[in-house]
Amino acid sequence: MNAQDPHTQPSRRLVLAAGLGAAALGLTLPARAQETFPSKPIRILVGAGAGGSTDITARLVGTELAKLLGQPVVIENRPGASGTISVQQTVRAPADGHTLVWVGNSVMAISPFLYKEPGYDVRTLIPVSLATTSMFVIMASPEFKDLKQLIAYGKANPGKLSFGSNGVNGSLHLLSELLKTEAGFDAVHIPYKGGAESASATMGGQIQFYFDALSSNLALARTGKLNALAVTGSRRDKSLPDTPTMAELGLPAMTTDVFFGLVAPPGTPTPVVNKLADAMKTVLAQAPLREALSATGNEPQSTTPAEFRALVDKEAARFQALIKAKGIQPQ
């Protein structure tokens, strides 16, 4: 047997040192990812058109995140398909924290059970932090003074009522379908790209009512351009104290809340997620932002990634059971 040249054979000490060096490098990579993040502008995709509650909350929070993180935060509207397009594009982006998505109930807790192929697996998405909570409101054209009158008209005139939503099988569509079932009347669904379009269509007489986040409809309700018939919260909202809850009107099954928050694509490094979560906690504790969000009807509330995941899982289980009970089939 020929011995190898000792000058060409790596020593055991050298191999061990190289291995330890590689391990040390591996341990420092996550830390370095956090230290260097963000290294370029951050994109936050919003699955709704400009002017609605989803868009407004994202822009308010994004402005403060940009100041704190030292990089521009660009809000990009990707409306359509009940918000799922924005999530689909986010999961295809590099998982480095520079492309995020602003989410609500629909894409996290409802669409996964209403679409056979939503284009993403909600279980692999990484919730960063909750941002706000609010409630839904049913808005109607001025001819309807209260919900009782709307329901009575729907029962007496089958097919003559129409309602808008942010897309087929979205949370707003589902709420109207549930109302039809619970109250026993008929209405035709007309999908739009967001709540702002539904509001315009109602004021223009193309539809008679729609559900949307209360926060983006306060001005319409206060000016009387449209009537707020009921809210879905467990109690009346202080912004519209004269508007009853669904439960008060004998429809307790309609009680639900709205949430908005920040989500990262699968595979985003944990240190980056934590840095974003810490940033969300910091900005959502600032009085000016809290006041701005509250003025739109949204209650600021930050969470840890784990707490946000628990909320999403809870809401998903609730809506999945509801969808199954109503016999709604995935499209």
Whether 13 is in a domain gets the answer: no
Classify residue 310: in a domain, yes or no: yes
CATH value at residue 296: 3.40.190.150
pTM, to two decimals = 0.72
Domain that holds residue 162: 136-254
Does some domain include residue 9?
Answer: no
Mean pLDDT is lowest, of 30-34, 281-285, 310-314, for 30-34
Q: pLDDT class for 189, splitting at 50, 70, 90?
A: very high
Q: How far apart are CA 131 and CA 50, in angstroms?
A: 18
Is residue 253 pLDDT above 80, yes or no? yes
Residues 130 and 263 in one domain: yes
Question: What is the per-residue pLDDT across 24-57, written as a single tens digit (0 to 9) for each?
Answer: 444 444 555 567 899 999 999 999 988 888 899 9
Please tell me whether residues 245 and 264 are part of one structural domain.
no
Residue 60 within a domain: yes
Query: What 8-state DSSP symbol labels residue 250?
Result: T
Q: Quickly tell me which residue has 């008060």 as its tokens.
A: 248
Work out the average pLDDT over 96-101. 98
Residue 235 CA neighbour count, 13 Å, CB half: 2
Q: What is the largest CA-CA distance in the chain?
A: 100
Residue 46 lies in a domain: yes
Q: Residue 2: its pLDDT value, please? A: 45
- pLDDT tens profile 114-156: 888 899 999 999 999 999 998 999 999 999 999 999 999 999 9
Residues 183 and 289 in one domain: no
Inform me whether the pLDDT recorded for 166 exceeds 90.
Answer: no
Statement to judge: residues 245 and 161 lie in one domain: yes
pLDDT average, residue stretch 266-291 = 98
- What's the average model confidence in pLDDT over 239-264? 93
Residue 230 scores a pLDDT above 90: yes
Q: Is residue 238 in a domain? A: yes
Specify the pLDDT at position 33. Answer: 57
**Res 186: pLDDT:** 93
101 found inside a domain: yes
The answer to whether residue 325 scores a pLDDT higher than 80 is no
**Beta-sheet strands, E only, within the chain:** 42-46, 73-77, 99-104, 126-140, 162-165, 188-191, 209-213, 227-231, 257-264, 299-300
The confidence band for 234, taking pLDDT boundaries of 50, 70 and 90, is confident
Asked if 248 and 273 sit in the same domain, the reply is no
Confidence band for 102, pLDDT divided at 50, 70 and 90? very high
Q: How confident is the model at residue 21 (pLDDT cuts 50, 70, 90)?
A: low
Q: Average model confidence (pLDDT) for the chain?
A: 88
Check which CATH number belongs to the domain holding 164 and give it: 3.40.190.10
Average the pLDDT over each of 221-225, 227-231, 322-326 and give the range with the smallest value.
Answer: 322-326
| Structure confidence at residue 205 (pLDDT) | 97
Name which of 204, 245, 203 is nearest 223 in CA terms.
Answer: 203
Q: Which of 254, 276, 292 is the last residue of a domain?
A: 254
Q: Tell me which of 199, 225, 254 is where a domain ends.
A: 254
301 or 213: which carries more pLDDT confidence? 301
Residue bearing the bigger pLDDT, 170 or 72:
72
The phi, psi pair for 172, rounded to 5°, reads -75, -35
Least confident of 19-33, 88-102, 179-193: 19-33
d(CA 250, CA 307): 32
